[in-house]
Amino acid sequence: MNTPPRPLLKSITTTPTGPADAPQPVDAPAVGEPKGVAEGVPTAVLSDPQTGDGPYPIGWLTICAPRGATPTATSKCLCGRDRSAVGHPRVLALIADHEAHRDLCPLRTPQEGRAAA
C-alpha cells in the first residue's frame, strides 16, 4: 500500500523581471502660491523692525551679586562697547564707567549736535 505524496507547505514565488518602481514625473517648475494659503497672506514670518519713533534700549548693565560670592557685572552697548568686571571694587568702577558712557555714547549724542554746540 502506497501513500500519496504530501503536498508542499510553502510555495516558491517567482521574482519579477520588470521594473520595480513606478515612473517618476519630469521635474517641472512650481508656479503660483502653495496650496492652502489665502490671498494676501505672507508665507514667511517677517521680522518686526523698530520704527524708531519712541525710546528703545541702547545699553545694558547686568550685575550679579549673590550673597557670600564674588560679584560680577557686564556693561554692553549697541555702539560696540562690551566690558565686564569681577570683584567688588571693579564692579563698582564698572557701574560708574557705565553711567559715564551714557553721556559719551555716539548713539545717544549725535555728532552733528556736538559740532554745532
The three-state (H, E, C) secondary structure of 9-77, written as one string? CCCCCCCCCCCCCCCCCCCCCCCCCCCCCCCCCCCCCCCCCCCCCCCCCCEEEEEECCCCCCCEEEEEE
Question: Domain residues for 89?
Answer: 59-108
State the amino acid at position 92 in one-letter form: L
What gap in Å lies between CA 20 and CA 15, rounded to an integer? 11
Average pLDDT over residues 88-113: 84
The average confidence (pLDDT) of the chain is 75
Order across the sheet with 72-77: list the strands: 59-64, 72-77, 82-86
Q: Is residue 100 part of a domain?
A: yes
In a domain, 117, yes or no: no
- Residue 49 resides in a domain: no
User: Does 45 fall in a domain?
Assistant: no
Share of the chain above pLDDT 90, in %: 26
Total tally of structural domains belonging to the chain: 1
Task: Answer with the residue of higher pLDDT: 58 or 116.
Answer: 58
Report if residue 15 sits inside a domain.
no
Does the pLDDT of residue 94 top 90, yes or no?
yes
